Amino acid sequence: MPCTLCGQADNPVYHRDKRRVYQRCTRCHLVYVPPHYWLSAEQEKAEYDLHQNHTDDEGYRHFLSRVTAPLQQRITANAQGLDFGCGPGPVLAQMMAEAGWPMQLYDIFYYPKVELLQRRYDFISATEVLEHLHSPATVLPQLWAMLNARGCLAVMTKLVKDQAAFAHWHYKNDPSHICFFSQETFHYLAGLWRAELEFIGNDVMFLTKGRGHEGCQ
């Protein structure tokens, strides 16, 4: 199975457990699960329906503040944003709206407003989304193209460290998680897009467009 991000073929098995096989790309270092192990759309939505993320959950707000706080320091007062893959309870968008940045909402299951994917934005958030992507090779360049100049793609996803840690990693056990990024994978994307890359903490990454693009700020 070729890599679902860069298309590299003939990638070795990285890990195998009683449920699935995981391959690791030799080019972009993405760890990915072959399609025949993926959940159906109905099974996938059923997994997400179990999530109980409420706007008044202080613990969840604190978790998301690791994205919202640094993001608010990097965007202008009138910046326009999209919460991509916001899920059934768009808490991050609510937090940003409270701080003065109302956002558009898109989610393939809960807010399937495809017309929003034809617009341009100054920032796009994708928190706990990338690990679910069937086709990161399509989705990630699409999000990048939707950003204005100096636009920021703010990502939260847990990162692969090494093969030994992966074997005991709880994150891989969620059946809806089918691709796993590492710092090397984000460096690959930054090089491909000529993006400015920041690692904020252990699982937050900001990719920012350079100044050589027309658009806002």
Q: Each residue of 153-185: pLDDT tens digit? A: 999 999 999 999 999 999 999 999 999 999 999
Percentage with pLDDT > 70 across the chain: 95
In the predicted structure, residue 214 carries a pLDDT above the cut 60: no
Tokens, residue 209: 């467009």
For the chain, how big is the Rg over CA atoms in Å?
Answer: 17
pLDDT of residue 38: 98
Given a cut of 90, is residue 210 above it in pLDDT?
Answer: no
> pTM of this prediction?
0.94
Q: What pLDDT is stored for residue 216 in this prediction?
A: 33
φ, ψ of residue 105 in degrees (nearest 5): -120, 130
**Confidence check: pLDDT of 211 > 70:** no
- Domain 13-208: which topology? Rossmann fold (3.40.50)
Going through the chain in order, the beta strands assigned E by DSSP cover 13-16, 21-24, 31-32, 81-84, 103-106, 121-127, 147-156, 179-180, 196-200, 204-208
Burial class (CB in 10 A: 0-12, 13-18, 19+), 107: middle
